[in-house]
Amino acid sequence: MKNYFIVSLVKNGILGGGMTADEQAITYHTGKLTVPQEYRHLVMRYDEINEVTSGRMFLLPTVTVTKKNDDSYKFAVFFGRNRLLELLRAHGVNAA
């Protein structure tokens, strides 16, 4: 079963999009053509994630996903940040 989240990637601005979570990974999607190709369909497998931290950017709740290869991605999560963190923990990800 997939879970859906309304998020924006914070990379040289706020890039609107969405995130899906399934049994294998979380995936960020955006249809914006101005976004570099590497970020349009960003797959982050649970076993590749080192840690996830929560924070705030201005008034927006955020999560930062750090992969084991030290790539880091910050997302503004508009609804359901706690649900996203719980889902990640359920898949064995260190989420604070």
CATH numbers and ranges of domains, the chain = 3-90 (2.30.29.30)
| Predicted TM-score (pTM) of this structure | 0.92
| pLDDT tens for each residue of 55-90 | 999 899 999 999 999 999 999 999 999 999 999 999
H-type alpha helices, the chain: 37-40, 81-90
Give the gyration radius of the chain's Cα atoms. Answer: 12
Looking up tokens 């990974």, which residue turns up? Answer: 25
Exposure pattern of 40-51 as b/e (b: 16+ CB <10 Å)? bebebebeebee
| pLDDT tens for each residue of 27-62 | 999 988 888 889 999 999 999 999 999 999 989 999
Alpha carbons within 13 angstroms on the beta-carbon side of residue 29 total 11
Taking residue 58's Cβ as centre, other Cβ atoms within 10 Å add up to 7
